[in-house]
Amino acid sequence: MEILSSTQIVSLSGPLKIESLAISGSRIFVGSNTGALLVFRETDGTYTQTSSLPLSKKPLKQLSVVRELGFLFVLLDNQISVYDLESLSFLHNLPRSASISFFLTATSIAPDATVSARLVAVTQKGKTLVSYHWSNGDLAPPTEILLPDRARNIAFFTANDSTSFDLASPRLLILTGSKFLLADLAQSALLPESTSGTVSHVLSSSSSFLYAPKSHAVSLPNGVALIVKDTASAYVTREGTPLIDRPQIPWSYAPDIVAYYFPYILSATSSSLQVRNPVTQSLLQDLKISGITTLVSSGKTLLGATTNTLYHFNVADYDSQISHLIDINLLEEAITLLRQFNPAAFPNRNHRLRQIEILRATQLFQQGSYRKALEIFSDVSANPQTVIDLYPAVISGHTANGVVRGRSPTVTSEVSIQSTASHQVKKKSSQSSIVSAKDLLEARRHILDTDKAQFSAAVRALRGFLGDARRKMKQLKLVEVQEIKDPFISLEEYGDLDETAQLVDTVLFKCYILTDSALLESLVRVENACDPNVVRDWLTAKQKYKALVEFYFGKGMHKNALELLQEFGKEGMQQNGTAAHENHNHKEDEKIEDDLKGPQATIQYLQRLSADDIDYIFEYAKWPLSLDLSYAKQIFMSETSDSEVLPRRQVCDFLSQYSTALVVEYLEYIINVFGDMDPETHTRLVVLYIQLLIEDKDNKEVHQKLLDFIMNPDSTQFDITVALELVPPHDANFFDVKIALLFRAGRHRDALKIIVYSMQDVDEALEYCKKVIKSDGPSDIVDILLKMYLDPIETARHKAEVNVEAGLRVLSTYQHSVDSKLALELLPDNVRMSDLEEFLTRSIRTLVSKEAESKILVSLDKSNVLENEYKLLLARDPSVVVTSARLCKVCFKRLGKSVFYLLPDGRTVHYACAEV
């Protein structure tokens, strides 16, 4: 694979040797062994030397350009000198930069546009670091960090999740002879040592050699650095954690130079320049070029140099590189490289990445790595149809027996991916690869059709993918696409969400029924988009009728469910010899689940229906009720049902077709349990009670229920007038009912007439008065009763006789409540005084007590008046004693002989102060 191609741009002759390189735009700076700085400029692809500046007599060992500062740093005579980048004039030497062995620079621009630059220099003895920091061009005083051992190499860490250096909190990797150190440049201090066995082994590998291999420290993106010593390598994070899961780079020879040029690791040996994938460590190119001693890059420009030759390396277009990797089936390499690109810099990055991942997952699927393949499909949110089409017809088809109806070709999506990804492949080779892919896929489908273990593994992997797809489609429906952070989730990939949801749920249903039927209910009981026809066919074929009923319920297909339950219920009863068989259309060997036999399954289903399904409830409740009317209680009066929300008038009308007693029981239920306060409900219950009593006057239970309901203080909603009209007026069995109704209506006189003249029950009359007084407080109810017994005109009107004995009982019982004058007027002349002694005695005592109480109240009123008059007199004629020591309450000076003023609140003040 050709990633880099070299072009020789400069060749030095004579004693001149290349010691160092630096790039600034179109200019190349070459540090020579003679101390001269050679400057070359690129014009239309041609490099021309523009100047040669003799800076020293010694080699220019290191050059570095910092364009943000406008500086060219030169290491000459072991000191760092600063030159102006444009004019190349000498500016100054960096302070405290004598005896420098090598240095490293880095720059960054913060979000607030602050430009930071850092330079870290290592002294010749290697045990001191000198750190320089520029912020917006201003140099801070340099700081030093002392090291426990000699530094062999250093590297800045990039920021986490970035390719840029983090100079706000800069970290530096320092390689010594046997370990690595981390330095916090902001604090000018070393961090605690944290080497691991793996890294320690790499750094101590020189112990087995007769020479000291060179150590390399290379900055990589995302806060990672590469450590290399001889042929060993390791990765470490900016927190000091070794990445032991990354394998070592398999170098055959120790590299002379190691560098990072996005997105590759470059290494130079005496005979070649190698290009490797930093994630997989795979060797992608081995460019035969000898003697590379220096590699530098700036932006997209990459230069290399031998001792006398300068090379420009041309980098192939990234899109072409990715396509070539796909063409040679290095999909893992293409994926890992693509993932390093920023989508903003590589516009179609996510699209290409999805294509390659799907192609890679398809290959893994063909190889039998189902779980890994389906995980990749989930990671890139692959179109569910693409994934499902990889499976045999029993999964990707639409019928229970695997016969495909309207199924699109299973290779279409795969071919589309491959042809798009490999657009540079010749037509003939593309066709052969497609045919090969199709053959492999068909072979894999055949394996899945014949190998139960393989099929089970593949389907279980598919279940995870489909569950993830369900979640993502739900997310797309609930939120705006812009709010979803996953770049692979898109409406374009999932297409019509309703259609795709039906496909996903239907196939997920098949996965459950084929591999783990215990999970069926977890799908059919919740909201789903399964194709009803497919579910019906499969569940019927598998005789999973309970699951089918649950599915129908979730879909609102209540008629289908109830028809099935009724059919199986009747059939089950017929099999048990309890009912006649009707419309038996099933095979004799068909097994009906025990829970579906009889009416109970139908009843339980009806209990779950809501008010919107009342027509289904009425229609399919008829069969259970035809067997036993007591089932009505389970359907309409069960705590497990939605009976509270059912239309109550309609339920009453329905139950009335079967039994008045059922309606009564239902009305009692909704009033007592749900607290129904609808006047129509209460009135209807009272009316039905009365009707039941008319039909059966000896029904003591209903009689007592009616009386209890009428006299219940909470039963205030029923229409008393309607109830009174229904009660037979002269039927002695209903006297107590009518009296109770009249009591609730406040028609006490009418109630007493029934008790006195129809029932002729003195005790009941006296008890009624007691209830009225307790309920309404003091009233004339006793006087009314007394008249009914003693008034000749009143008794004559009702064809009764004066009842002196009853009248005397009234006087004896309610002597404190009766009007004494009225009583004496009503009593006949022939009543003996001895019969009135108790009444008259208590009456006289009551009168005397009232008169005495009245006199006491008059006396108290007079005393209260006298007391108030005395207080008024005192207020109108006040007196005050003013002594020589008395002070004014305003100015707090002595009153003396001054004119004073007595305020209404009792304070004594100067007359002049009173106005204040």
Residue 316 DSSP label: P
Q: How far apart are CA 785 and CA 783, in angstroms?
A: 5
Q: How far apart are CA 219 and CA 325, in angstroms?
A: 25
- Choice between 558 and 833, residue whose per-residue pLDDT is larger: 558
Sequence-separated contacts (24+) of 183-189 with Cβ below 8 Å: 183/129, 183/145, 185/118, 185/120, 185/131, 185/133, 185/143, 188/131, 188/143, 188/144, 188/145, 189/145
Contact predicate 129/120, CB 8 Å: yes
Amino acid in the structure at residue 211:
Y
Q: How far apart are CA 602 and CA 618, in angstroms?
A: 12
Q: How far apart are CA 483 and CA 475, in angstroms?
A: 10
pTM listed for this prediction: 0.68
Sequence-separated contacts (24+) of 828-837 with Cβ below 8 Å: 828/790, 828/802, 828/804, 831/804, 835/808, 836/808, 836/811
Amino acid in the structure at residue 500:
T
- Which of 14-18, 263-267, 586-590 has the least mean pLDDT? 586-590
- Which of 37-41, 299-303, 313-317, 428-432 has the least mean pLDDT? 428-432
How many degrees, rounded to 5, is the angle at CA 353 between CA 348 and CA 355? Answer: 100
Instruction: Provide the pLDDT for residue 536.
Output: 92
Contact predicate 542/517, CB 8 Å: yes
CA atoms within 13 A on the CB side of 893: 10
Residue 739's Cβ-count burial label (10 Å; 0-12, 13-18, 19+) is buried
Beta strands in 316-380 (DSSP E): none
Q: Give the model's confidence band at 98: pLDDT under 50 very low, under 70 low, under 90 confident, else very high.
A: confident
Q: How far apart are CA 720 and CA 110, in angstroms?
A: 86
Contact predicate 275/285, CB 8 Å: yes
How many degrees, rounded to 5, is the angle at CA 139 between CA 137 and CA 144? Answer: 145
Q: Output the CA torsion sign for 670, 672, 678, 683.
A: positive
**pLDDT over threshold 50, residue 399:** no
Left if phi > 0, otherwise alpha if psi is -120 to 50, otherwise beta: which for 556?
left
Place of tokens 């009728």: 545
Integer angstrom CA distances of residue 607 from 197, 447, 574, 636, 698: 68, 48, 24, 7, 36
Place of tokens 């489609």: 473
Average pLDDT, the chain: 86
How far out from the chain centre does Cα 769 lie? 67
Place of tokens 């095979």: 587
- Which of 368-372, 508-512, 586-590 has the least mean pLDDT? 586-590
Sequence-separated contacts (24+) of 272-279 with Cβ below 8 Å: 273/4, 273/6, 273/304, 275/3, 275/4, 276/249, 277/333, 277/336, 277/337, 278/220, 278/226, 278/340, 279/336, 279/337, 279/339, 279/340
Buried b (16+ CB within 10 A) or exposed e, 876-908: eeeeeeeeeeeebebeeeebeeeebbeeeeeeb
Buried b (16+ CB within 10 A) or exposed e, 110-145: eeeeebbbbbbbbbeebebbbbbbbeeeeeeebbeb
CA atoms within 13 A on the CB side of 815: 16
Q: How far apart are CA 678 and CA 664, in angstroms?
A: 15
Instruction: Provide the pLDDT for residue 876.
Output: 67
Residue 877 DSSP label: S
Instruction: Provide the pLDDT for residue 368.
Output: 93
3-class DSSP state of 236: strand
- What average pLDDT does the segment 695-699 reach? 91
Instruction: Provide the pLDDT for residue 297.
Output: 93
**pLDDT over threshold 60, residue 511:** yes
Give tens-digit pLDDT for 623-653: 999 999 999 999 999 887 678 889 999 999 9
Give tens-digit pLDDT for 840-876: 677 777 777 777 888 888 889 888 988 888 777 766 6
Give tens-digit pLDDT for 242-271: 988 888 899 988 999 999 999 999 999 999
| Residues whose CB is less than 8 angstroms from the CB of residue 442 and which lie 6 or more positions away in sequence, other chains included | none
Integer angstrom CA distances of residue 507 from 449, 467, 607, 701: 16, 11, 31, 60
Instruction: Provide the pLDDT for residue 837.
Output: 67
Give tens-digit pLDDT for 381-390: 999 999 999 9
Contact predicate 281/251, CB 8 Å: no
Q: How far apart are CA 175 and CA 216, in angstroms?
A: 8
Q: How far apart are CA 156 and CA 165, in angstroms?
A: 7
Q: How far apart are CA 413 and CA 424, in angstroms?
A: 19
Instruction: Provide the pLDDT for residue 74.
Output: 97
Give tens-digit pLDDT for 152-207: 999 999 998 888 888 888 999 999 877 889 999 999 999 987 544 456 666 655 44
Q: Are strands 257-261 and 264-268 parallel, antiparallel or unpaired?
A: antiparallel
Give tens-digit pLDDT for 513-567: 998 888 888 888 888 999 999 999 999 988 889 889 999 999 999 999 999 999 9
509 phi/psi in degrees, rounded to 5 = -60, -45
* Structure token digits, residue 46: 């041609």
Preceding peptide of 263 cis, ω within 30° = yes
Q: How far apart are CA 586 and CA 601, in angstroms?
A: 19
- Choice between 576 and 557, residue whose per-residue pLDDT is larger: 557
Beta strands across the sheet bearing 224-229: 215-220, 224-229, 232-237
